[in-house]
Amino acid sequence: MTLLPRLTATWPLPALLAWGLGWAVALSLRGSGIAGGVDLVAGSAASAAFALVNRGGWRRGIAALGFPLSAALFLGGASDWPAWAWLLALAPLLALYPLRAWRDAPFFPTPADALDGLASIVTPAPAAVLDAGCGLGHGLAALRRAWPEARLHGIEWSAPMAWIAALRGTGARVRRGDMWAGSWSAFDFVYLFQRPETMPRAWAKAQQEMKPGAWLASLEFAVPGIEPVATLRQGGARPLHLYRVRPGVAKDRTTRASNASTSGVARR
């Protein structure tokens, strides 16, 4: 793997690099006597250009906007803040999205209609369903609409998110924990909204722990090299890829793929 893919493999490092590049360009020009807004335009352009290494519009947007927003705060008087004020501003973010979760997928909620039609494909209805990395519970709500009678579970590393998801009224049992540490063996259906780098690991975990015939569903991101049983699309919405655990599937292939993506483990 070359240097650039290594640097951009783990979110939010690509965003931090884009923001840092923007500031480096702007401060370099300002130090050379080039200001009057030219420094900020050049910094924004450099940051936006580096943001293109990200996959997905949301990530590119976050990476590209970080520098101009921080520059606006700085020029608007935030530079007079004491150092501890910046730490206080970061505290709610760290509570909601702890550092350990930065290796995982950023928080993007499951669209309300993303799982419509799921019950017509996955039959019979699963008895036990897990939303692995459930965030604020949007996926749990969609899963409850699909299967009102299912025993619905959610797991989320962020304690505030897990607490909010538990209060959404979906009837799901939500706990704070590591989606990778717990076994998936008790579930007939596991739903993920993760990131591309994590899918080989998720498929390997499903193959190793889930019973034959169980389902793994991934919103937007497919398992590399594995043909889904079905792909559900709702208009222009993100595709939902559906996989089924089968007996006799060679695990060495998925294990190698999982090992190759260890540096990009993720969450939704």
Could you report the per-residue pLDDT of 8-53, keeping only the tens digit for each? 556 667 777 888 888 888 888 888 888 778 888 888 898 888 888 7
Percent of the chain with pLDDT over 70: 72
Contacts with 58 (C-beta within 8 Å, 6 or more apart), sequence order: 106, 108
Q: How many CB atoms lie within 10 A of CB 85?
A: 11
Which residue in the block uniquely carries the two structure tokens 């209060």?
167
Q: How far apart are CA 177 and CA 201, in angstroms?
A: 18
Length of the chain equals 268
Q: Which range, 87-96, 157-166, 199-208, 258-267, is most confident? A: 199-208
With both helix axes pointing from N to C terminus, report the angle between 251-260 and 199-209 in degrees, rounded to the nearest 10.
140
The amino acid at residue 15 is A
- Rg of the Cα atoms in the chain: 21
Q: Nearest-CA neighbor of 198 among 177, 224, 178?
A: 224
Count how many Cα atoms sit within 13 Å of the Cα of residue 235 in the half-sphere of its side chain.
Answer: 6
Give the confidence band of 258 by pLDDT, cuts at 50, 70, 90.
very low
- What pLDDT is attached to residue 264? 36
Q: Nearest-CA neighbor of 192 among 237, 233, 146, 242?
A: 242
Q: 3.30.70.100, 3.40.50.150, 3.40.50.620, 2.30.30.90: which CATH number matches 118-264? A: 3.40.50.150
Residue 175 is given by DSSP the state E
For the chain, helix (H) and strand (E) counts, in that order, are 10, 7
Q: How far apart are CA 218 and CA 223, in angstroms?
A: 8
Contacts with 37 (C-beta within 8 Å, 6 or more apart), sequence order: none
- What pLDDT is attached to residue 252? 41
- What pLDDT is attached to residue 225? 94
Tokens of 68: 């101009």
| Boundaries of every domain in the chain | 3-80, 118-264
Q: How far apart are CA 80 and CA 70, in angstroms?
A: 14
Give the confidence band of 210 by pLDDT, cuts at 50, 70, 90.
very high
Backbone φ, ψ for residue 29 (5° rounding): -65, -40
Full-prediction pTM beyond 0.95?
A: no
